[in-house]
Each structure stands twice: as structure tokens, then as C-alpha cells.
């Protein structure tokens, strides 16, 4: 064991001595050293920037550059420095630059040191596009998500680039991702809606602003996208109404209409409504050439159509009245698959001799300055009567054509009704305005015109019929009340005059005829017979007794004769002789002794004297009991359905009584006056 331990100790000692010997030999050969790891330096450095320090064993070691890439380095003492600023993008091998340095010392072997320099690339260059503006052509109806262009920017720093596009909420285009500037279609393009889109593509070499960085470089480019109109629509007859169905658009035409006279050939192109037969390419910008053809309805070859213009003319007159329907085809000359059809209706009618004509060539109307919508135009300044225009057609016996329609031209202020009244559409802001009226015969297309000038009347100038004020109505009520009071006074006065004459007789007559109203049950024939008898009796009560002309005495002017049964023959003869000279006003009154008197007046030829004679009324009449019997028979023959006629008869008798009482009163006053005069 001791022997083995001694051997191991001896071996260890010899190993250590040998290692120490070798170390002295190695350090004796390396007179200078540098770090074995690569040395880094940022690009864009300043001159004389120290790259690495060279370690030497003594100061008398000489250093020389044997390899200097791009002559970018130099030695300054024991330091390796950058001779100039380094640019990562311009260096041939910027990842690693190899610099070799030779160390020399007298008495020692020369050695060569190798320094690996790595230039660090920094973000010192902005990204850039090849062009500042790009122009792209894209067909309409290009499918969604179709790529129209990939526009990338270049960055010398070889950094990751981030893209964005304005407007950020573009409806038609979008970017594929933030890192890939692939422009995709976002929505179906329609040339009729949009013809060009302008985009701005931005790029930056740092993440978006949401991630803060110290340095960032950006660039932008303008992209003009032109939408190309493709041939995707057929011809459209004009005018038409556009209808959208999904992504497709169609234009609907209601067709064309015209009127021609029976057995007459019209020269030239027919004038259709709402316009000539015309179609244009549905693709607005292409404007393909269109051709026309009649495909149905022209079996008799009455009409022909111009293939290029679409004008329809007549080859011969139509001999049958009524509508003729044609089907017209319009198609593209280049692409016949693009076509459309429309209906053409030709009304064959008997010829009209007269067109509608207004009653006046020129009308004048008025409106107030405060008139608003739906107010009528007035015919004059002094009333509120609206103006009414009418057109006559001499083809009609009455002059009224039911097919006439009224229209207004050259004015936005008024409308006209079917009856010819003119209404305001809005308030008038001018002092006056003029327009043209048209009367159109919709069955023949004939037109009559007239002009209308409307004057705006200031608000202060009002029509007298415009209305009554409260004061006017009060004055009218006062006048009516005064007239009513005056009428009541006159009626009361007349009644008092009648009652003053003989109130008992008046009441008696009224009571007699009132009792008759309550009696019913007689036939119509019986009532007529009794009516004749009553008329005879009434006529017998009023008699005119002519007398000889007598002189008046000095003491009286009135002569009274009482006759019980009959007149003398002499008196009747005198009555016949003087009949043409007599004017009688008669009335009767009933005395307490039931004797009736008849008063008559005779007017002399010289009108200077009046004679009055009162005679009994029972002359030539039946006894009183016969009269009562007649009245009783009359009352017993009344029926319910004859009450109205009997009432009318009663009123006539009452009026007769009143007139008699008035005549008696007037005669008395005249007699009294004559007496006083005598």
C-alpha cells in the first residue's frame, strides 16, 4: 500500500511540472490577443468608433492590418476602430466582417489575430412603393373576394411591413390581411351606381399605433379603380321605370299609343305617346347599336318600321275602326341575344271635325295675398265667386265633350279640376302670374288653349261679400225687430177697426163657421151641391139698389129706406139704366133684431156727391128657417177627408165678413164727413 501511494504522488508531481512548462512556452509565443467571440457594431456609426481593444504583452509590439474589408477599419494604438460610418444595406456581407491583425515583436514569433465584426442593422430606411399612383380596371359584376391587385412596398431594412387602406370602411374593396396587401372585391360593382373608386394604400415598418415604438417610417400610394361597364343588359325602351331585383336591374316600358283617322293615310312618322318608339342600350357607357322590327300584329301590312330609327309610318289607310296592337322587337346589332319587346297600340277612329275651344281666349282671375293651398281663384275683385273655365266641342249638340280634360302649363302655383275650377297649390309670393290652360280631348288628342292671368289682391282690399261683422249683424237684427213691431201695430190697428164696426156680428160669423169645421160625414157630391146653394145665398145678400139722382137737402145727406119684401119695378128699371155708373162696396152686419141691412154707394158722374141707401137683406131670399136648414144640411154632409176644403171655405167667409165690416166703417166715416161739410 505504501509503495502504490508513493508511485501516484510521484506521477502527480511530474504532471504538474510538465503543465507549468507548457504554459510558459505558450504565453511566450502569444505576444497579443483579441476576444474570440464576434464583435458587434451598429450601422450608421460615427468615425473613430472603437470596435475592439487588442491586448499585448509589452508595449513594443507592432500591429498591422492585413485584411480590412471595404477599408472600413483602422488601428489606433492597440484599438481597432471604424474608419467611417458603416451602412448595413451597402455592405456586401453585413452579417460578418473579418478583420485580420498581425502582431510583431523582436525575438518572438509573429502571430495573426482574426476579429469577426458584425454590423447591426437598425431601422433607418422608410418603406417605398414602386409608383406613387396605380390605375386598375375592374369589370362590373366581378364576384366578391376576387383579387384585383397585389401592391407591395419595399423596405431596405428588411423589416416586417404593416398595411392599411383608406377609406377604412370602403364598401367595394378591402385588404386580405394587415401583412398582405392583396386588394379584394368586397361588394358587387354596378357601373350605373359607381364608375370609379379612389383608394389610398398606407404602409409602415412598425406595428400599428396600438403598439408603441420609438421609430416608425411610413409610405403611401394612390390607387384609382375604374369600373368597366360590361355588356350585361338588353335594350331598354324609353321612357321606362327602373326596377331592381337582387343584383339585376330591369326597365319596364308601358308601351306606345297613337290615334289615326279611319280611311286616311297619315304621311310621315306617326307621333306616338309618350314619345317616339326608341330603345337604348341598357349598359349606359357601351351604347350598342340597336335595330327594330315588327314581329306581330301587322298582318295586313298597314304599317312599316324603320330598322335603324324605330319610326313607324303607314303604308295604306286603315279601313276598320278599333285598336291595332303591334309587337315591336329591339335588339343589339352585334349581340342579338340582347333584345327587348314592347307593345304599340294604334287607335283607328272616326275623324273629329272640331277641336275643344274655350269660351274665352283670355281669362282674368284674382286671389288674396293671404290665400293658401286649396283656395280657389276668384272671378272678380268684388265677390267670392270662383272663376270657372269651360271648353266647348262643336262636334256635340250640347257642346260638352265628356272626354275633355283640363291641364295647366307654365305655372307651379295652381291646379285645375275636372270641372274647370282653379285651385292654389301653394301660397303666392308675387304680385301676379300668368299661365296657359289646355283642354285636351283624350279620345282624339285635339287640344284647345287659353291664357289666364291672376292678380294678387292685397289683404286690405276685401270683397263686400266676404262676410258680416258683429256690428253689422246687430244692426240687421235691430231693423228686423223694428219692422216686426211695426207689423204688429198695423195688424192690431186693423183688428181694432174691424171690432169697432160690429164685434158681435164678427164673433157670431166666426162661431157659425167654426162649428161647421167640427161636422163630418157628407159625401163630396152633396158638399158641392150645397156649396153652390150657399154661394147663391151669399150673392143674394149683397145687392146694389140704383136710385134716382136727388138733390141733397140742407139738413141731411143720408136717406134711409126700409123694404120688407120686394123692390119696385121702377127702381129696377132705374138700376138697369144707371148700372154702368154705379160702384158698390158692400158689407153686412147682424142687428139684435136679426134684421140684415145692405149698404151701397153710388158715385155720381161729377164725383161731388155720394148717396147711401141701407135696405133689408131678406129681399128675394127664403125665410130664415130655410137658411138654417141649408146650413144644417151642409154640416151634416161633411166627412173627415173634406175638413181641409171646408176650412178653406170658412176662411174665405171670414175674410168676406171682415171686408164687409171694413166697408161699413169706411162708409160711416164718409157720411159723417159729408154731414159736417153740409
Task: Tell me the mean pLDDT per 10 residues along the chain, length 678.
Answer: 48 50 47 87 85 83 87 87 84 79 86 89 87 94 93 85 84 91 92 90 83 74 93 92 85 92 91 94 88 94 94 93 93 92 92 89 93 91 89 89 91 92 92 94 87 88 52 82 91 84 54 51 51 52 41 40 40 42 39 43 42 44 44 45 46 56 67 66
Phi and psi at residue 376, in whole multiples of 5°?
-90, 150
Alpha helices in 464-593 (DSSP H): 470-501, 503-517, 524-541, 569-577
The residue to which cell 166715416 is assigned: 669
Is residue 268 within 8 Å of residue 313, measured between CB atoms? Answer: yes
Reduce the DSSP state of residue 675 to 3 states and report it: helix
Is residue 639 within 8 Å of residue 523, measured between CB atoms? Answer: yes
Is residue 436 within 8 Å of residue 344, measured between CB atoms? Answer: no
pLDDT at residue 500, as a whole number: 74
Q: How far apart are alpha carbons 194 and 138 in whole angstroms? A: 12
Residues 40-49, buried b or exposed e (16+ Cβ, 10 A)? ebebebeeee
Q: Cell triple for residue 219?
A: 409610405
Among candidates 349, 365, 344, which has minimal Cα distance to 403?
349
The residue to which cell 304680385 is assigned: 431
Alpha helices in 549-642 (DSSP H): 569-577, 624-636
Among candidates 392, 427, 423, 390, which has minimal Cα distance to 406?
390
pLDDT at residue 61, as a whole number: 85
Instruction: Say what the pTM is.
Output: 0.43
448 to 409, 445, 546: CA distances (angstroms)? 13, 10, 80
pLDDT at residue 609, as a whole number: 42
447 has which bridge partners? 440
pLDDT at residue 406, as a whole number: 95
pLDDT at residue 590, as a whole number: 41
Q: Cell triple for residue 142?
A: 366581378
Is residue 391 within 8 Å of residue 441, measured between CB atoms? Answer: no
**159, exposed or middle or buried, with CB in 10 Å at 0-12, 13-18, 19+?**
middle
Is residue 227 within 8 Å of residue 187, measured between CB atoms? Answer: no
The residue to which cell 186693423 is assigned: 494
Q: How far apart are alpha carbons 258 and 444 in whole angstroms? A: 9
Q: For the residues of 29-97, what is the DSSP string, one character each?
A: H--EE--SSPEEEETTPPTTEEEEEPEESSTT-EEEEEE-GGG-EEEETTEEEESS---TTT-SSTT-E
Q: How far apart are alpha carbons 116 and 247 in whole angstroms? A: 67
Label the pairing between strands 111-120 and 39-42.
Answer: parallel
Phi and psi at residue 472, in whole multiples of 5°?
-65, -45
178 Cβ neighbours under 8 A, 6+ residues apart: 162, 163, 164, 208
Amino acid at each position: 500500500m505504501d509503495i502504490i501511494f508513493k508511485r501516484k504522488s510521484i506521477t502527480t508531481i511530474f504532471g504538474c511540472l510538465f503543465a507549468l512548462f507548457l504554459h510558459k512556452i505558450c504565453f511566450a509565443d502569444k505576444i497579443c490577443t483579441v476576444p474570440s467571440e464576434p464583435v458587434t457594431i451598429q450601422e450608421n456609426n460615427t468615425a473613430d468608433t472603437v470596435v475592439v481593444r487588442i491586448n499585448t504583452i509589452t508595449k513594443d509590439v507592432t500591429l498591422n492590418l492585413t485584411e480590412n474589408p471595404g477599408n472600413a477599419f483602422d488601428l489606433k494604438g492597440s484599438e481597432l476602430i471604424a474608419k467611417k460610418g458603416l451602412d448595413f444595406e451597402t455592405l456586401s456581407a453585413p452579417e460578418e466582417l473579418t478583420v485580420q491583425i498581425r502582431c510583431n515583436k523582436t525575438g518572438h514569433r509573429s502571430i495573426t489575430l482574426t476579429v469577426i465584426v458584425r454590423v447591426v442593422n437598425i431601422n433607418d430606411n422608410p418603406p417605398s412603393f414602386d409608383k406613387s399612383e396605380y390605375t386598375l380596371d375592374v369589370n362590373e359584376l366581378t364576384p366578391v373576394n376576387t383579387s384585383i391587385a397585389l401592391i407591395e412596398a419595399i423596405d431596405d431594412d428588411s423589416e416586417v411591413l404593416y398595411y392599411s387602406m383608406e377609406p377604412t370602411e370602403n364598401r367595394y374593396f378591402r385588404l386580405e390581411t394587415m401583412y398582405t396587401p392583396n386588394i379584394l372585391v368586397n361588394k358587387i360593382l354596378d357601373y350605373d351606381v359607381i364608375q370609379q373608386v379612389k383608394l389610398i394604400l398606407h404602409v409602415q415598418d412598425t406595428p400599428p399605433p396600438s403598439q408603441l415604438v420609438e421609430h416608425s417610417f411610413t409610405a403611401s400610394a394612390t390607387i384609382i379603380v375604374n369600373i368597366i361597364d360590361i355588356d350585361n343588359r338588353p335594350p331598354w325602351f324609353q321612357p321606362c321605370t327602373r326596377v331592381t331585383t337582387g343584383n339585376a336591374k330591369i326597365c319596364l316600358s308601358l308601351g306606345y299609343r297613337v290615334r289615326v283617322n279611319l280611311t286616311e293615310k297619315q304621311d310621315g312618322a306617326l307621333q306616338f305617346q309618350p314619345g317616339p318608339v326608341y330603345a337604348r342600350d341598357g349598359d349606359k357607357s357601351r351604347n350598342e347599336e340597336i335595330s327594330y322590327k315588327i314581329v306581330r300584329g301587322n298582318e295586313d301590312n298597314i304599317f312599316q318600321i324603320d330598322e335603324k330609327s324605330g319610326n313607324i309610318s303607314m303604308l295604306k289607310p286603315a279601313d276598320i275602326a278599333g285598336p291595332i296592337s303591334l309587337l315591336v322587337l329591339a335588339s343589339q346589332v352585334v349581340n342579338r341575344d340582347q333584345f327587348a319587346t314592347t307593345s304599340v297600340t294604334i287607335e283607328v277612329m272616326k275623324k273629329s271635325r272640331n277641336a275643344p275651344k274655350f269660351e274665352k281666349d283670355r281669362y282674368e282671375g284674382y286671389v288674396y295675398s293671404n290665400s293658401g293651398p286649396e283656395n280657389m281663384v276668384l272671378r272678380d275683385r268684388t265677390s267670392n265667386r270662383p272663376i270657372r273655365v269651360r271648353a266647348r266641342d262643336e262636334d256635340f249638340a250640347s257642346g260638352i265633350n265628356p272626354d275633355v280634360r283640363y291641364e295647366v302649363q307654365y305655372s307651379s302655383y295652381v291646379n285645375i279640376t275636372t270641372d274647370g275650377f282653379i285651385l292654389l297649390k301653394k301660397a303666392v309670393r308675387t304680385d301676379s302670374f300668368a299661365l296657359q290652360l289646355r283642354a285636351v280631348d283624350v279620345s282624339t288628342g285635339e287640344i284647345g288653349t287659353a291664357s289666364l292671368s291672376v292678380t294678387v289682391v292685397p289683404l286690405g282690399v276685401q270683397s263686400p261679400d266676404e262676410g258680416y261683422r258683429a256690428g253689422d249683424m246687430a244692426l240687421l237684427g235691430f231693423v228686423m225687430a223694428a219692422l216686426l213691431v211695426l207689423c204688429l201695430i198695423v195688424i192690431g190697428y186693423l183688428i181694432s177697426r174691424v171690432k169697432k164696426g160690429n164685434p158681435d156680428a164678427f164673433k157670431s160669423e166666426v162661431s157659425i163657421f167654426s162649428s161647421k169645421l167640427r161636422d163630418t160625414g157628407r159625401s163630396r157630391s152633396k158638399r158641392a151641391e150645397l156649396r153652390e146653394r150657399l154661394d147663391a145665398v151669399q150673392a143674394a145678400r149683397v145687392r146694389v139698389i140704383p136710385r134716382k139722382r136727388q138733390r141733397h137737402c140742407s139738413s141731411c145727406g143720408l136717406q134711409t129706406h126700409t123694404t120688407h119684401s120686394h123692390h119696385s119695378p121702377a127702381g129696377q128699371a132705374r138700376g138697369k139704366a144707371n148700372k154702368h155708373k154705379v160702384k158698390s162696396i158692400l158689407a153686412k152686419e147682424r142687428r139684435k133684431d136679426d134684421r140684415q141691412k145692405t149698404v151701397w154707394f153710388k158715385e155720381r158722374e161729377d164725383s161731388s156727391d155720394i148717396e147711401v141707401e141701407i135696405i133689408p137683406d131678406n129681399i128675394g131670399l127664403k125665410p130664415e128657417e130655410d137658411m138654417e136648414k141649408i146650413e144644417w144640411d151642409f154640416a151634416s154632409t161633411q166627412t173627415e177627408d173634406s175638413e181641409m176644403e171646408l176650412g178653406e171655405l170658412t176662411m174665405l167667409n171670414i175674410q168676406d165678413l171682415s171686408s164687409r165690416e171694413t166697408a161699413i166703417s169706411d162708409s160711416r166715416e164718409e157720411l159723417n164727413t159729408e154731414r159736417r161739410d153740409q
